[in-house]
Amino acid sequence: MKHLRPLLLLVFLGWGSAVVAASAAPDAYHHVQFAQIAATALAFIAPRSLDAVPVRQLALWGLQGVASLDPRLTVEHRAPGRGTADSKAGSLVLLLSSGSAAAREIFARPAPTDDDAISWGSEGAALTQAAWDASDPLRRAGQMRIVAAFFDEIFTHFDPYSRYVPPAEAAADRIRRNGRGGIGVTVETRAGAFVIAAVQTGGPAAEAKVVVGERILAVDQQTIQGADQQALTALLAGPDGTQVSLTLRGRDGKPRNVTMERALLPPETVFAHSQDGILIIRVSAFVANTAGRIAQEIIRASGDGVGPPSAPIAGIVLDLRGNRGGLLRQAVAAAAMLLSEGSVAITIGRDPAAAHDYRADGRDLSSGLPVVVLVDGGTASSAEILAAALADQRRAVVVGSATLGKGLVQTLAPLPDGGDLVLTWSRVLAPRLWPIQGLGVLPQLCTSMGAAATARQIEQLGEGRQPMLAALIRHRAARPTTPPAEVLDIRAPCPSGEGNAHDLSAARSLLMSPSRYATALLPAAPPPSRLGIAAPVARPVTAATVTMGTGNARSARSQDLTTPASVSD
């Protein structure tokens, strides 16, 4: 993403401020804006996609998608010497058929060279203008549908996760990823009053010492008596950096006024509690502050880093069940806080900026406490990266079922229409060099076969035998070239399933028995051979980075995404 700004400058150079807002006339065709969208996308995709595809081919796919909105339209690229408007690169032609008559050319221009994104964007916009002028179905579809059709056809030739995100959906995704302006409180209605039910760590309300249980009497000196929850939420929210004043009443019955500055607050994704000497941390997704929040909970459970903890913690459970992923670097940072050294994840892509060897280089915030990671069939992408890293480095035991197997990384580019382009640009390898894509994480203690099978495995671990050992060794020996049929066979010993009540009790049985836990860990292994894998750029990640550098929501747009298409990035 570091290369995006000069790329956009190049694309927009010469068009100046000619961007036309689609919202001004939603059914009109905006030639200049379409050219900008197409050129920006083509220039972004061509050097970054997992497999090399020329700009010309990308553009032709997109224009064929536009033509698919009217069956009478056909887009052709004719070789040199075959077109009425020719160049060394051939010609770009749009045909319109009418009944039984032969199709006639309604557009013919010399084709740009194979990798000229700006010219292909410009010529593609001109061809689309000709199609618009000649086609009632295109005019009925409108520009937004035309743009969507352009990208739909391109991405049918890619993986399931690369996609175009329309403006409204993109705006909502940004809020989910980066947060919205607010003060960081959860409010409930109790006996007709609005009561602070939760205060988000690190948010404006926490800094202003707002506490759970206080009642809200007024917002900006306006009484909220008679207001509903939706109206109160609207009053509390607002642009980042603006101020809001609350009148609160605490348990002492005295009102007080507190003024806060709204901030971008990512949604809360980390929920922690201690039970029977075990710190249980549930992580629902990886957003801009997730790693920092995990670090806070580990440090808090250890006595806030000052003196011994008041209630000693025997181990940690990281509950990643149902976690569909999020920001890659947040998962990497979360792994690094539990590792003092070693590889966390390796990403491989054509673009040098997509290739990284993420390595822990700091200290284990938990001081070596045993860790169990809970997973299920809904655990995906960034969550799988975290689980794989801790398991491969013998830092955790994974309990549950085989995970989804989503090991592709997406990068994001904003488009001139306000939409986003989400493009897969790298594959993820775990520290032992097996691919997460397709394989997923195979647990060391499988709970998806039922309570009786889980109990037998725990008993065998207590006897010093690891029943999953052969399956785990085979799983870790897989490589990106492993055939799909073999991948399915490798996953078979622990079928994917939903998390169940046995998971946490199984985790507890491991954490309370050092011998069972030690037997469940993966066997030590020499560093795997990287033969045939290009050396990526080493990216050290430290605990200091986690606790100090992960709270800036504004940096999230430049981070890689690893979430499936069905979930916000």
Residue 74 in any domain: the answer is: yes
Q: 502 in a domain, yes or no? A: no
Is position 385 within any domain? yes
Q: Average pLDDT, stretch 176-195?
A: 85
Q: Considering 265, 299, 328, which residue would you say is the last residue of a domain? A: 265
Residue type, 132: W
d(CA 81, CA 90): 7
- In sequence order, which ranges of 228-381 are alpha helices (DSSP H)? 229-236, 290-301, 328-336
pLDDT of residue 334: 97
Same-domain pairing of 188 and 292:
no
Asked whether the predicted pLDDT for residue 72 surpasses 70, the reply is yes
pLDDT at 18: 35
Which of the two residues, 387 and 170, has the higher pLDDT score?
Answer: 387
CATH of the domain at 374: 3.90.226.10
Together in a domain, 277 and 398: yes
346 within a domain of the structure (yes/no): yes
Within this chain, do residues 219 and 255 fall inside the same structural domain, yes or no?
Answer: yes
Strand partners of residue 215: 195, 249
* Strand stretches in 415-453, DSSP E: 420-429, 445-446
* Residue 544 confidence (pLDDT): 42
* Claim to verify: residue 154 and residue 41 sit in the same structural domain: yes
Q: What average pLDDT score do residues 294-298 get?
A: 93
Co-location of 548 and 412 in the same domain: yes
Instruction: Tally the C-alpha atoms within 13 A of residue 343's C-alpha that lie toward its C-beta.
Output: 23
Q: Is residue 302 very low, low, confident or very high in pLDDT (cuts 50, 70, 90)? A: confident
Q: What is the C-alpha R_g of the chain?
A: 27
**Out of 12-16, 49-53, 349-353, 562-566, least confident range:** 12-16
Which residues form the domain of 441?
A: 270-449+527-558
139 and 16 in a common domain: yes
What are the tokens at 373?
């990671």
The last residue of a domain, from among 265, 296, 311: 265
pLDDT at 57: 98
Cα–Cα–Cα angle for 365, 368, 374, nearest 5°?
A: 90
Q: How far apart are CA 201 and CA 298, in angstroms?
A: 14
The whole-chain average pLDDT of the chain stands at: 87
Verify that 125 and 254 share a domain, yes or no.
no
pLDDT for 550 equals: 28
Q: For residues 316 and 444, state if they share a domain.
A: yes
Same domain, 67 and 151: yes
Better-predicted residue by pLDDT, 93 or 171: 93
Per-residue pLDDT, 85: 61
Q: SS in 3 state form for 98-161?
A: ECCEEEEEEEEEECCCCCCHHHHHHHHHHHHHHHHHHCHHHHHHHHHHHHHHHHHHHHCCCCCC
Q: What's the pLDDT at 486?
A: 98
Give me the CATH number covering residue 230: 2.30.42.10
**331-345 pLDDT, tens per residue?**
999 999 999 999 999
Interval 138-147 mean pLDDT: 97
Q: Is residue 165 part of a domain?
A: no
One domain, residues 224 and 334: no
Please give the pLDDT value at position 542. Answer: 54
Rounded Cα distance, 194 and 255, in Å = 14
Same domain, 190 and 216: yes
What is the tens place of the pLDDT at every residue in 497-556?
999 989 999 999 999 999 999 999 999 987 776 655 655 666 666 544 333 222 222 222
pLDDT at residue 564 is higher than 80? no
The CA distances from residue 520 to 373, 392, 513, 554, in Å, are: 12, 12, 11, 40
**pLDDT greater than 80 at residue 422:** yes
Q: pLDDT (tens digit, 9 = 90+) per residue, 87-139?
A: 678 999 999 998 777 899 999 999 999 999 999 999 999 999 999 999 999 99
Digit-coded pLDDT (tens) for 250-274: 989 999 999 999 998 888 899 999 9
Instruction: Answer whether 389's CB lies under 8 Å from 318's CB.
Output: no
Residue with tokens 């097996």: 434
Q: What is the pLDDT of residue 172?
A: 85
Distances (CA, A) of 30 to 5, 24, 33, 196, 207: 24, 10, 5, 48, 48
Provide φ and ψ at 554, rounded to 5°: -70, -20
Half-sphere exposure of 445 (CA within 13 A, CB side): 36
Q: Is the pTM of this model over 0.85?
A: no
Q: 195 near 187, Cβ under 8 Å? A: yes
Q: In Å, what is the CA distance from 350 to each residue of 3, 382, 427?
A: 14, 21, 10
Asked if the structure places residue 403 within a domain, the reply is: yes
pLDDT of 70 strictly over 60:
yes
Query: 514 in a domain, yes or no?
Result: no
Residue 305, pLDDT > 50, answer no
Note whether residue 163 is domain-resident. no
Total structural domains within the chain: 3
Please choose, from the candidates 348, 413, 407, 556, the residue with its C-alpha nearest in 3D space to the C-alpha of residue 3: 413
Burial class (CB in 10 A: 0-12, 13-18, 19+), 32: middle
> In the chain, pLDDT over 90 holds for what percent of residues?
71
Is pLDDT larger for residue 5 or for residue 25? 25
Position 389 pLDDT exceeds 80: yes
Shared domain for 428 and 340, answered yes or no, is yes
At 11 the pLDDT is 30
Does residue 178 carry a pLDDT above 80? no
Q: Which of 244, 265, 286 is the last residue of a domain?
A: 265
pLDDT of 242 above 70 = yes
If you average pLDDT over residues 129-158, what whole number do you get? 98
Q: Does pLDDT of 160 surpass 70?
A: yes
Q: Which amino acid is at 246?
A: L
